[in-house]
Amino acid sequence: MPLTLNPGQTLLFTGDSVTDCGRRDDPEGLGSGYVRDIVASGALEGAAVINTGVGGNRVIDLEKRWQQDVLGHRPDVVSMLIGVNDVWRRYDSNDPTTLEQFAAGYRSLLSQAADAGIRLVLLEPFVLPVTEEQISWREDLNPKIEAVHELAAEFDAILVPTDRELTALAADVGPSTLAVDGVHPTEQGHREIADLWLDTVLARP
């Protein structure tokens, strides 16, 4: 079911750098990425919007700050995009997050939010390979995306198919048009994520 936001409700976005996007240097706290684009659309008018994304975060990092940075704000809705760093650290730092660790940590976050009566929106983690090495990331990323799908069903969350849709678009416009390094979106990439979020979560006509 699409989300219905009532005036006065609080919607919180959290995750890694794709959500963070400089929000701590922004007087409005929104950052310069897809969160700002969603707010700029006017579709969330009347709702309070909070961004607590932190660059570099993995699920384990989000677990450590979940109480303070998410539940502590008493949001009505939480939108979460996390997972690419759980993949990336395997390849650049030999510090993997197993599928079991990823799913268990993610489930713990959702369980706490559900117990607090929070409506959940989950975005697929994504990579748009611009190097040969990033193509190999799919071995690690795809099972984690599947875990997000399963958790979305388990917790009756709205699932935003970020990876699927951006991958399809990248086939037409080129991956670096959407994410110059395959991970961090360009301005166009952020607009595409915002549009997909609005279309999926709010069933925007």
The residues carrying an active-site annotation are 17, 181, 184
> Which of 21, 38, 48, 6 lies closest to 186 in space, CA to CA?
21
- The two beta strands, 158-160 and 119-123, are parallel
List, edge to edge, every strand of the sheet that includes 48-51: 48-51, 10-15, 77-81, 119-123, 158-160
Q: How many CA atoms lie within 13 A of 91 on its CB side?
A: 16
- The two beta strands, 77-81 and 48-51, are unpaired
Largest CA distance in the chain: 47
